Amino acid sequence: MIRGSILKPMAVLATVAAMASGRLPAQPAAPPTRLEVQANRPGPTINRDIFGQFAEHLGSGIYGGIWVGPGSPIPNVRGIRSDVVQALRAIQVPNVRWPGGCFGDNYHWRNGVGPRAQRPATLNPDWGGVIEPNSFGTEEYFDFLGQIGADAFISENVGSGTVQEAADWFEYMTSDKPTTLAKQRAANGHPAPYKVKYLGLGNESWGCGGAMSADHYVEEMKRFARYTRNYNPVQQSGSEAMKKIAVGWDSGNSDYTDAVMKAWKDKVWSWDVDGVSLHGYTIPNSWEKKGPSAGFGEDEYAKGIQATLKMKDWIARQSAIMDKYDPDKKVGLYVDEWGIWTDPDPGTNPGFLKQQNTLRDAIIAALNLNLFMRNADRVRGANIAQMINVLQAMVLTDGPKMVLTSTYHVYRMYVPFHDAALVPVSFDPGTYAYRDSRLPRVDAVAARDSSGRLWLAMVNVDANRPASVAASFAGIDARSATGDLLTAATVDAHNSFDRPGAVAPRPFAGRASGGAIRFDLPPKSVAVVQVR
Ligand code: AHR
């Protein structure tokens, strides 16, 4: 009696303390999730550009994060830091959207070419009002892309620039004829034309990019789409042709998507677009008070997961509009800004959008990547915001120090899905219940890579209960499944310069029996396995 009466409140207290710290008590497993993988029915190709990145002139996203200058004691190649390049090569970044964001509609490319010592100092009014030295410009961007092996995605200035300025930039970058601008590029160190895979026709023109009505934007967009040409002969037609992405969804209003798609359907020969963008951030609470990036428990975790699940509805709504005008799915949906956006870390410049990156964010990354892959017939690209030191970053730096984030590890684990063929899976996700919210507990995606290997990604969203997944595979006699698992003790676990391995993948395997495979996923975990 006495023993019980003392222990019971102590257990309650321990549970409360554990929940407050984000260290959650283990709970019994939920019933197994039955997962059927139609391994013999490959579907649409998962465009590797779904794993794209976004690097804006914002905080230390470029300066300090990528560019340290050739004279820096931080090891670099032509001013681009080598540790960051090495980290990014490992996740096989397909493309980098640049220079903004809102910054893109303030950017005047001529400030960023030619001898660096002679480049003007300008201002970055959107992000902290700091001085923009223009040391990282067109040549440095393409050098960086070459070092990491990624394609270019240029967001051109529709808001404060002119059509002629944009047209000149593309002539400068892509002309193979000896025009004055192409000769200027050669004098600046690059005689051969650059390749530009994507051209963004403005950024958020409904907001920071000019606050235009949808109809007004469409008229502007047509002129930019008409005159901003790619002169590189290998990019004028066929699979290498540059793709133009128009501004779409404004986080609540589909007017842009509708207006752009209607114009596309009625278009004349002189202009075209290949994609419409969708910007959708995960805001755990409200825009005014988004919530902390670390130092939270299950409450903020569940809110973050709930908020990120809105992406499913956003994609469905935009896809429905696009289907109306384009049932053959010629135009792609490009989620070219997404990710979790929290309050800035205490003590940092609020205009620099610097935030920690936790296990919660890794799970958010996996859920969104799974969603994009599941919609691969329409979603052809996505760019997480942002690659280095800003919002949901891959890498954080501080002077010479660098650490890989939880989200980075998801991107590394998902490399086998680049350009793989989606394989249908069916399962009942079950429920992760937290207070009033009822969230899907398990998520999964499968694909076959170009060598025919079968890959399976699984997420256990439940913060407390392990998930047992019983997978069956139509079309193959599955004998083994091995890969990586990402989890940690707490939902807000994160890597720091002092503890860089707090959230890191570890080997993981399923148990095969009679052609099926059983996986035991710990609470709050992401797994990727190859099934043989
Ligand atoms: O990623 C930060 C900002 O969010 C971008 O500059 C802008 O496009 C969006 O509103």
Share of the chain above pLDDT 70, in %: 95
State the DSSP H helix or E strand holding residue 291, giving kind and residue range, or none if neither.
Answer: none
Residue type, position 107, single letter: Y
3-state secondary structure 221-253: HHHHHHHCCCCCHHHCCHHHCCEEEEEEECCCC
Q: How far is the CA of 204 from the centre of ligand 1 (A)?
A: 8
d(CA 453, CA 520): 22
Mean pLDDT within 340-366: 97
Report whether pLDDT(189) > 70.
yes
Look up tokens 């053959």; give the residue: 328
**Predicted local confidence at residue 250, as pLDDT:** 80
Cβ atoms < 10 Å from Cβ of 428: 12
Atom of ligand 1 nearest to the CA of 204: 8
Indicate the average pLDDT of the chain: 94
Active-site positions?
A: 204, 337
Comparing 7-16, 239-248, 269-278, 463-472, the range with the smallest average pLDDT is 7-16
Nearest CA owner, ligand 1 atom 3: 101
Q: How far is the CA of 102 from the centre of ligand 1 (A)?
A: 6
**Predicted local confidence at residue 253, as pLDDT:** 86
CA angle 430, 509, 37 (to 5 degrees): 50
Nearest CA owner, ligand 1 atom 5: 101
Atom of ligand 1 nearest to the CA of 337: 1
Buried b vs exposed e over 273-291: b needs ≥16 C-beta within 10 Å? bbbbbbbbbbbbeeeeebb
**Predicted local confidence at residue 2, as pLDDT:** 27
Q: How far is the CA of 72 from the centre of ligand 1 (A)?
A: 29
Strand ranges in 269-356 using DSSP code E only, listed in sequence order: 275-282, 332-340
Using CB distances shorter than 6 Å, the residues near ligand 1 are: 56, 100-102, 203-204, 337, 385-386, 391
Give the mutation target among 124, 132, 279 for probing the ligand 1 site: most ligand atoms within 8 A of CB. Answer: 279
**Predicted local confidence at residue 1, as pLDDT:** 24
Atom of ligand 1 nearest to the CA of 100: 6
Nearest CA owner, ligand 1 atom 6: 101
Strands 516-521 and 437-440: unpaired
Among candidates 462, 439, 464, 434, which has minimal Cα distance to 526?
A: 462
- pLDDT tier at 10, thresholds 50, 70, 90: very low
**Predicted local confidence at residue 18, as pLDDT:** 45
